[in-house]
Amino acid sequence: QVQVVESGGGLVQTGGSLRLSCIASGFRFDAYAMAWFRQAPGKEREGVACISRRSGEKYYVASVKGRFTISRDNVKNTLYLEMNSLQPDDTAMYYCAPDLSSGFLPTRCLSARAVDPSYWGQGTQVTVSS
């Protein structure tokens, strides 16, 4: 079954940087798009970045564009999120998930509701202090 394990979160000051990792198993990692999501207290889970299976296409939501970079290593079955210029509004639990559909469609890839609930990992907490 699909399993993902996120790591790399922590407490940073405003303007700081973090690099998140997500190790995936249970499916053919290099065959599918992957996405990062986040959920702040009291808010819905939202997609922030999505990458196609061979990294040829990447999509970011406006709030993180220019600050976050999504990447993947298909040999290591690992997804990354490099986060720079972090702001307090970036404080959230961060999750990764695969888009186990064919093709690359950012609107689908970034839809938390489209993710099978069993695919979610435990997440990694990012806290940005002001």
Q: What is the pLDDT of residues 90-111, one digit of tens each?
A: 999 999 999 999 889 999 999 9
| Helices and strands in the chain: count of H runs, count of E runs | 1, 10
> Tens digits of per-residue pLDDT, 48-90?
999 999 989 999 999 999 999 999 999 999 999 999 999 999 9
pLDDT above 70: percentage of residues in the chain: 100
CA distances to 64, 77, 104 from 27, in Å:
28, 10, 17
pLDDT of residue 37: 98
Nearest to 4, CA basis, from 100, 63, 77: 77
How far is residue 16's CA from residue 23's CA, in Å, rounded to a whole number?
Answer: 24
pLDDT of residue 15: 98
pLDDT above 90: percentage of residues in the chain: 93
pLDDT of residue 33: 97
How far is residue 84's CA from residue 21's CA, in Å, rounded to a whole number?
Answer: 15
Encoding tokens for residue 82? 């490099």
Query: What is the pLDDT confidence band of residue 40, given thresholds at 50, 70 and 90?
Result: very high
Whether the CB-CB separation of 64 and 89 falls below 8 Å is answered with: no
Beta pairing partners, 128: 12
